[in-house]
Every structure is written in C-alpha cells, then in structure tokens.
Amino acid sequence: MILSWLSLRGLAVVTPAEAAAYRDAQRDVVTLARAALADWWRDLDVSDANAAVAALESFVPDLVAAYGDVAATVAADWYDVLRVQAGVSGSYRAQLAESLPAEQVRASARWAAGPLFDRDPDGERALQLMAQAVQRLVQQQGRDTMTRNVRSDPSRPRWMRVPHGRTCAFCLMLASRGPVYLSAATAGAYNRYHDACDCQPMPYWQGQGLPYDPDELYSRYLEAREVAGGDTKAILAQLRKDLDIN
C-alpha cells in the first residue's frame, strides 16, 4: 500500500528493507497510473493513427501530472523521514518538484505511438511503450523532488543512486560511486533514468547508514575497467559480459 513504509520511522540506520519499502511505494503509484492508462486505452480508436496520437497528446500530460504529484508527495515525505532519522539540526520541510513540461510528455506519447503507423493494428505494442514511458515520467517527478531538496536543504546533504535487484550496467556504475552528488546539475547525464528502471535517488547526511554496499559495486567496476581501459562504453560492455546483465 502507498505510504505503508511510513511505519518504519525512527530507524537509526537506513536499511535495505526501508529503501525497498520506498521503492515499492513508488511502484504502487506507477501501478495506479498504468491502470488508468489501460482503462482509457480501451476506448481509444487505434485504427486512425493520427487521431490516436492527438488523443494521447491530450490525455497523457494530465495523467502524468496527476500521478507525478503523488510520486512527488511520497518522495517529499520520505525525504522528511530520512532527515529526522539522520538527526539533522534546524527545521526544513521538503518541497515538491514541479510537474514535467507538457511538451516533454507529449513527445514521449508521440514516440510510444510510433508502432500505430507500422504493423500494430491492435495497438498492443504502442500501449506497452506508453506504459513504459508513463512509468519513467511519473517516477521522474519523485526523483526530481529528491534532488531538488538536496539542492535546497541548508544542511547540504549529498545524494546517491540506490539500485534495486538485478540492475543494468549503467545504473551499477552510478550506484558504485556512493553518495557523491550534490545536485542533479552536478550529476549531469548521470541523473537520467531509463524505462523500467527501479533505481531511486536518496539523500545522505554524514554518519547515516547506507542501504546498499557501493564498495562492492565499485570493485566490480574496477575489475571491468582493468580489462576494458578508460573508455566508459567499453567498461559498461565489460560489466555486461562479466555479470551477464543488460
């Protein structure tokens, strides 16, 4: 259930179970958004691709904004809990990130609708792509909430990218760096997330426990770099080979 993780308040150390509870809360938001998309899609006439795209461009931004706000609220509550657990002095209340630009969402809708123009008469492939995009876009508002508050909080925490489960080589590389990022801007391209990604940014204050072992991941990264050299693409390819991951 969304926000069930709030019962974990008061832990002195951020545990893997606590981080997983937050991930599951965000998954619940995505599940609801995808269900709303599927219900709406049943009435969509996919036989006219151009009309279907226009309908998607009208509907999906509102869908993403509504559930993105929920994801942002979950993230802000989680941030406040972690700040209390870390024993940070001074008052601060987490702020919600702004909704994603409507044109960004419309662009994703147009991309997902691409198969409707080429051998997707039932719209199944387009719906699959749209559901993946909705997952990424809805979660982005929660992720942006985390990085926004890391930037705004006067206590100046850092943040890390916390992996979950069997992650991809790119996410493994970023998670191996640990809590080193000061803002989304300093992370640059490393603040991007792919479809179906379960990684979540999480703030970190000095002395707080970590919910995963970045040193273990970094040792894997160094092993791959030793073989592949200094080129990032080559290192990622070696990680995929070594660990049999995407």
58-101 confidence digits (pLDDT tens): 999 999 999 999 999 999 999 999 999 889 989 999 999 999 99
Q: Which residue has the tokens 């951020």?
A: 14
Residue 170 CA to its chain's centroid (Å): 14
Question: The dihedral of CA 216, 153, 69, 9: what is its sign?
Answer: positive
Residue 188 — very low, low, confident or very high, per pLDDT cuts 50/70/90? low
Highest mean pLDDT among 1-5, 105-109, 165-169, 190-194 belongs to 105-109
| Mean pLDDT within 32-48 | 96
For the cut 90, the answer to whether the pLDDT of residue 184 exceeds it is no
239 or 119, which is more confident:
239
Domain boundaries, position 41: 4-156
For the cut 90, the answer to whether the pLDDT of residue 125 exceeds it is yes
Three-state secondary-structure class, residue 204: strand
Q: For residue 8, is it within any domain?
A: yes
Predicted confidence at residue 186, as pLDDT, reads 61
Q: For residue 27, is it within any domain?
A: yes
| Mean pLDDT within 136-148 | 95
Return d(Cα 178, Cα 160) in angstroms, integer: 5
Q: For residue 170, is it within any domain?
A: no
Q: For residue 16, is it within any domain?
A: yes
Return d(Cα 235, Cα 220) in angstroms, integer: 10
The model carries a pTM of: 0.89
Contact 190/161 with Cβ under 8 angstroms?
yes
| Mean pLDDT within 37-52 | 96
Strands 200-204 and 158-162, by their bridges, are antiparallel
Q: For residue 196, is it within any domain?
A: no
To the nearest whole percent, how much of the chain has pLDDT over 70?
A: 91
Contact 142/186 with Cβ under 8 angstroms?
no
Contact 61/25 with Cβ under 8 angstroms?
no
| Mean pLDDT within 164-170 | 86
Q: For residue 107, is it within any domain?
A: yes
Which whole-number Å values give the CA distances from 171 to 109, 124, 153, 167, in the listed order? 25, 29, 26, 6
Question: The dihedral of CA 64, 69, 70, 75: what is its sign?
Answer: positive
For the chain, how many structural domains are there in total? 1
Phi, psi dihedrals of residue 216, rounded to the nearest 5° = -65, -45
Return d(Cα 74, Cα 25) in angstroms, integer: 7
65 or 246, which is more confident:
65
Residues 6 or more apart whose CB falls under 8 angstroms from that of 209 comprise 12, 13, 14, 15
Q: For residue 149, is it within any domain?
A: yes
User: In the predicted model, what is the mean pLDDT of the chain?
Assistant: 90
